[in-house]
Amino acid sequence: MEGVQVDALRGVSLRINEGDFAAILGPSGSGKSTLMHLLGCLDRPTSGVLRIGGQDVAKLSPNALAELRNSQIGFVFQSFHLLPRTSARENVALPLVYRGIGRAERRRRATAALAKVGLDHRLGHRPSQLSGGEQQRVAIARALVGDPGVVLADEPTGNLDTRTGHEVMDLLERLNAEQGVAVVLVTHEPDVAERARRQIHIRDGLIERDTGGGPGTRRRP
């Protein structure tokens, strides 16, 4: 930017515990997307330390980072990002391909993940044959198929109508409560944020307020 340095985040200190359910809020340009990208190991911090499970991930190679994302982090995006010519089950199984898991086991795990989100009757349907809510459920199943410790959701209800958005939030709440999967979501919607046990408010690259929420249902040593 013509020599102008912009600090997207400044002096942020944050810990996400296993089992947390946290919402990141803030106006446009506040740094919440940058924070989400850092938590997901999609960006590297220019200074400071980022640890996942006690490991400083800033020192990992690109391949090691990719393996960490695949094994420990699930991603859910506002625009679903499903492969259009691929069935729901094949979309969900895709992360397992990169782990070298055989086809039969991939299909079994993908089927089980889709059952968790109530879509085991849509295994062979392509995204164009699914509603927006069903596509987001497929995306959530894809995030869960690798048994991650945390799911990062970027505006997971942004492209959905109000009723379907509530259904997706019900699903995330249930997965968090019943399976102990930590959920961190970015949202502009106050009613969505209120459903999280913890709200992290960001402004001008700083955490303005963090309700804390205490430890989650489980805590990593």
Burial class of residue 135, CB neighbours in 10 A (0-12, 13-18, 19+): buried
Strand pairing of 150-154 and 73-77?
A: parallel
Query: What CA–CA distance (Å, rounded) separates 183 from 196?
Result: 9
Q: What is the reported pLDDT for 218? A: 37
With bands split at pLDDT 50, 70 and 90, how would you rate the model's confidence at 184? very high
Query: What CA–CA distance (Å, rounded) separates 21 from 192?
Result: 12
Rg (CA), the chain: 17
Terminal-residue alpha carbon distance, the chain: 42
pLDDT tens-digit series, residues 145-177: 999 999 999 999 988 999 999 999 999 999 999
**φ, ψ of residue 59 in degrees (nearest 5):** -95, 0
Least confident of 2-11, 56-65, 176-185: 2-11
What Å distances lie between residue 168 and 88, 92, 153, 188, CA to CA?
17, 17, 11, 16
With bands split at pLDDT 50, 70 and 90, how would you rate the model's confidence at 213? low
Query: What CA–CA distance (Å, rounded) separates 60 from 25?
Result: 29
Q: What is the 3-state secondary structure (H, E, C) of 44-61?
A: CCCCCCCEECCEEHHHCC
pLDDT tens-digit series, residues 38-82: 999 988 888 889 999 888 988 889 999 999 999 999 999 888 999
Cβ atoms 70, 119 nearer than 8 A: no
pLDDT tens-digit series, residues 107-129: 999 999 999 999 999 999 999 99
Residues in the chain: 221
Query: What CA–CA distance (Å, rounded) separates 221 from 170?
Result: 28
- Looking at every residue in the chain, the average pLDDT score rounds to 89
E strand or H helix at 144, and its extent?
helix 132-144
Query: What CA–CA distance (Å, rounded) separates 160 from 212?
Result: 28
Q: What is the reported pLDDT for 33? A: 87
Using DSSP's 3-state secondary structure scheme, residue 173 falls into helix
Q: What is the reported pLDDT for 55? A: 87
